[in-house]
Structure 1
Amino acid sequence: MSASIPRDVREFLEDYPDNSDNPSFSDNLRFYSNKLRCRPDNLYIDDLHKQWRGDYSKLEYKHGFIQWLFPIPEHGMNYESQPLQRHEVEAMKADETIVERVLRSYRLMLDFYGMRLEDSETGLLARSDKNYKDRYKNLTRSSHNYLRISRILKCLSILGLERLNTGFLLFILAEQSEHGELNTSGIRSSMDRWWANCVRNEEERKWIGEMIRNVREENMYVEALNRRKETGKLAELSAVDTEQ
């Protein structure tokens, strides 16, 4: 496995080999069964879905909820949440109601990011109808959301919904390459190193990585030709060049 893949993603891809199951931990399963309130926000999951959908201020500035909506076998910043346990994973994947709640959590966060899920089978995304520009702007300037997205993708994969990850990644790539949206260095870095590697299916992960590399190289090619048209040089001007 490539050493360039971050350590937390390597552990995810290897299914957390150093983690053991703790049968006494079941908060994530109970929360997703609508039997336990998340902490510190003190909400059942069905209430959180109803009350927080579209409340972008809460979703931006509160931080404890993300560990509850998208549990993974890693410790997060919310000490009142628990890492996801192996026995919870099996129980949650087998419960259709819980799987539907996970999808609802995903839709809630997509809306926060200015996107919507068009097809839950293929993972196809589209822009939100009205407010995507403001939501995109927020995403480009609020980098803590990049860590959230890594968690979301890991969680979807672990809970049997990895098919959604490819749809997310290809949508972001299309927005970057075709429309110049979500194309900041921070988002590209997070996508290329973290998000694109949060796919356990090795064949799909390699295909996505190759697709991203091809798009990045094509963009560099177009940018270089446009730069030569404007400055007379293919290479970016250095500080020395600009002073002369």
Structure 2
Amino acid sequence: MSDEMANRKLSLVKAIRMMERVDLLDMNGHISCRLAEGDSRFLINARAASRATLTTSDVVVCNADGTPEPGGPEPPSEVYIHTEIYRQRPDVYAIVHNHPHWQTVLGIADLPLKPVFSIGSFSQFVPYYERSSLVNEREMGEELARALAGHRAIQIRHHGSVVVGGSVEEVFATAVFMEENAKKQYQTYLVNRNHHVLEGENLKRTQETNWSPKIVRKVWTYHEEKSLISGHLNGLQAHER
């Protein structure tokens, strides 16, 4: 295995375990990333593997159509979320599909995500996909990718969310703070339905100053260190660390 593939697999495993630690993944959900620039293949966690104890041997290499390479484990049934977004969005290098509590609650209540929290202020203009079943057919994956369009996230009503970005670290950080923003929005709504929302120049500056590669790295490092302390990264081989 090349060093590049090994590093990408390790980042994927860490992201999944770290998201499980903060209740953004449970026995379901998946993260993928492109294998390399110009390579149509991608990595994704195996369908049957526990998200809590995932290792690099549980990471599947899939071709552009979602077919695993010979001898590899079975990918998730919703692999078409990933194949079709990668097909339609060459700018996307990593994807999360999960079932976050607060975002899903807002979707059920028909309350669109609004930017109410500084580091989650990118949470705006998040479209909905209205077919709530498993996205386990290519046609549904194509529909979802079209509905996503140029956005960084989409809500699957009554089901969950999909987040896209330029790296595993970026989609991890985005997923964490979309959910934190949704939680704050929900709780504020209970106190006052006419609550403040970031807007105008204040929103623009807040977005510009609260989201950057340095902040993504800071979020990742914080959660990685917390996961090491709590033991959520136990079981990874020394060379995987």
TM-score (norm: length of structure 2): 0.24
Q: Which has the higher strand share?
A: 2
Which has the higher Rg, Structure 1 or Structure 2? Answer: 1
* Higher RCO (CA < 8 A, seq sep 6+): 2
TM-score (norm: length of structure 1): 0.23
